[in-house]
Amino acid sequence: MIKAIRGTRDILPPSSGVWNSVEASAREVFRSFNYQEIRTPLFEETVLFARGVGEETDIVSKEMYTWEDRDGTSITLRPENTASVIRSYIEHRMDQWVGLKKLYYMGPMFRRERPQKGRYRQFFQIGAECIGSEAPAVDAEVIELVVEVLERCGVEGAKLLVNSVGCPKCRPGFIETLKQSLQAVKGNMCGDCQRRADTNALRVLDCKVPEDQPVIDALPSILEHLCGECAAHFETVKDLLTARDIEFEVKPRLVRGLDYYTKTTFEFVHGALGAQSAVCGGGRYDGLAESLGSRVPAPGIGFSIGEDRLVMTIEEARAGQTAAGPDLFVAPMGDAAVRHAAVLARELRRGGLVVEVSSDKKLKRALETANKTAARWTLILGDDELAAGEYSLKRMETGEQKRVKREEIASAVRAD
């Protein structure tokens, strides 16, 4: 038997219905904030991710699906989408478009991670990028957009964590201070931390090893090392979040190891999956376009929501609820009725109802199927009904049955 590749999966009904409704809700919210969709290719030249995501990250060093194409070009399946969006921004000279560039995307990403619950090698992200402004008001609006998407999708209780990671003026000073503090304590930390203390000290701050947590909590905070511009930017972002009644927690350990990340960084965590885990991460990346070769600066901020986790959170909250069945199950009995049912079903579907036409020839079997598919109503259509020009409409929940005329079917089904 051929099976799906390890770390990938089929998304089947009724779960696929939840995916559809999440994506539809997200699109509505994006539209209301005047974002438009961008669709970039699923694969790009490897060098894009090496530069845009960073050679020394786990993603690029261990997790990418990379191969050499027949002409020798190194190609990679996208492990995330921000680099591709910025590549597209530069390629299509979007700096010359009017106003802010507000782009959203949704689709699969690929990382060869160790398979574990809730993590897939083909996973899905819903994200957006807002390019063209350094203003703190943009950061607050982008965060509000995530709040709205999560709410519209039915996720309750997600917690917002915010921080500032400074800029190329102030961050190097902080990293020096951090390295010095680490010299004294790194001997008591895990192997990764000992190595990172010298190579990429900021990443020590995201270590998840429980024994290291008290040590990390006692390390210096980046917020005490921000330059005037970064500190003022962060204050305004927090102010504008408060003005929107968006609750947040400042988390000085929330940092990103790459140079082009600047100022605001944020995460939404949710407790539904056992330990608090991130459903969304985002931040400002004012230096990214230049590191990808843009001659004009393109300050921007974006986020990505892990759709697999988002759906899992929603499904946990809805556990036990059954998926909706068709509005109407049409059960034709006999050849003439089958032909008539097809015309009738078309009419009702065009009127907006979800209609299923039975392929069972026996009434008892048809009614069983109607029950199992959770149809709300069943329309029985036999020779008697055809001759009388009336139909038997059965409400599945109560079993009550009534005779209706053709033009009354839709309103009877809708009324309930």
Residue 263: CB minimum distance to Zn ion, A: 7
Rule CB under 5 A: say whether 385 interacts with Zn ion. no
| Of 22, 50, 160, 170, the one binding Zn ion by CB under 5 A | 170
Residue 169 or 405 having the CB closest to Zn ion = 169
Query: Which residue in 230, 289, 333, 380 binds Zn ion (CB under 5 A)?
Result: 230
For Zn ion, give the closer residue by CB, 237 or 344: 237
Contact residue for Zn ion among 146, 147, 167, 348 (CB under 5 A)? 167
Q: Tell me: cis bond preceding 14? Omega within 30 of 0 counts.
A: yes
Q: Is 166 in the site for Zn ion (CB under 5 A)?
A: yes
What is the rounded CA–CA span in Å between residue 416 and residue 373? 18
**Is position 22 an interface residue for Zn ion (rule: CB under 5 A)?**
no
Does residue number 255 form part of the binding site for Zn ion (CB under 5 A)?
Answer: no
Among 29, 146, 178, 193, which residue sits at the site for Zn ion (rule: CB under 5 A)?
A: 193
Helix (H) or strand (E) holding 303: strand 300-306
CB atoms within 10 A of CB 159: 15
Question: Which residue in this structure is represented by tokens 């299509």?
Answer: 92
Complex with Zn ion: residue 27 or 179, whichever CB lies closer: 179
Asked if residue 110 lies in contact with residue 94, where contact means CB atoms within 8 angstroms, the answer is no
d(CA 268, CA 264): 14
By CB under 5 A, residue 299 contacts Zn ion: no
Q: How far is the CB of 213 from Zn ion (least distance, A)?
A: 9
Residue corresponding to tokens 């995530």: 146
b/e for 55-69, b at 16 or more Cβ within 10 A?
Answer: eebebbeebbebeee
Contact between 182 and Zn ion by CB under 5 A: the answer reads no
- Of 106, 150, 207, 312, which lies in the binding site for Zn ion, with binding defined by CB under 5 A? 207
Could you give the 3-state DSSP secondary structure of residue 207?
coil
Residue selected from 209, 317, 323, 388 as contacting Zn ion according to rule CB under 5 A? 209
DSSP 8-state class, residue 116: B
Place of tokens 């690029």: 60
- Contact residues toward Zn ion (CB under 5 A) are 166-167, 169-170, 189-190, 193, 207, 209, 212, 227, 230
